Amino acid sequence: MTKLTHRLAGQLEALARTLRRYGRDDGKVLVLGGVRSGKSRHAERLVAHHSHLVYLAPGLPPGDDDPEWAARVAAHQARRPAHWTTVETTDLATVLRSATSPLLIDCLGTWLSRVLDEVGAWSGKAGWERRLDDRLEDFLAAWTQARVPVVAVSNEVGSGVVPATSSGRLFRDVLGALNNRVSAESDRSLLVVAGRVLELP
């Protein structure tokens, strides 16, 4: 290749990186934020232009035993456009690998809480650490390989007080590490604070 061709190739690659970074949701986007920070609303705005979208809801389904959680879920459901398809699952890796439409995952924190339960972490079931590692690595591999635009919402848990319980500290540490890994494999990472959006370099 000539020097000119090399230079043009470099410029095109830089342009592609810029488009991925500043496009509305091209590629993979991680939206972080604290509770009631506006992270979910911002993520929804990022994908609002799609004519079809799959909304992945990996949290616990609402039930009569927890009216506060049911109210939160209902508020999220009410905001979703009618043309979005909602899928309630903790098998995010399978959906990521088979997706043909853009995805919005809301959120990784609620997903991790359910996964910790499924692998037996809360009860200290033998082998839970290995099962957890397998689930996280499977998700991260699927995230990296995703071929559709995908936006994931996650809780930023590193700025608060140290949790008083061992289960709280486990959740904080694992989610913090997961956020790091997802961010490293994303085209953009955003932090939402009090409704303001910060682009993370």
Please give the positions annotated as active site. Answer: 76
Burial 156-168 (b: 16+ CB within 10 A, else e): bbeeeeeeeeeee
The CA distances from residue 168 to 21, 89, 121, in Å, are 33, 23, 12
30 DSSP β-pair partners = 152, 189
Residue position matching structure tokens 């061709």? 5
- Its sign, for the CA torsion 167, 40, 84, 179, is negative
Coil, strand or helix at 198: strand
Coil, strand or helix at 30: strand
**Contact partners, residue 141, CB within 8 Å, separation at least 6:** 93
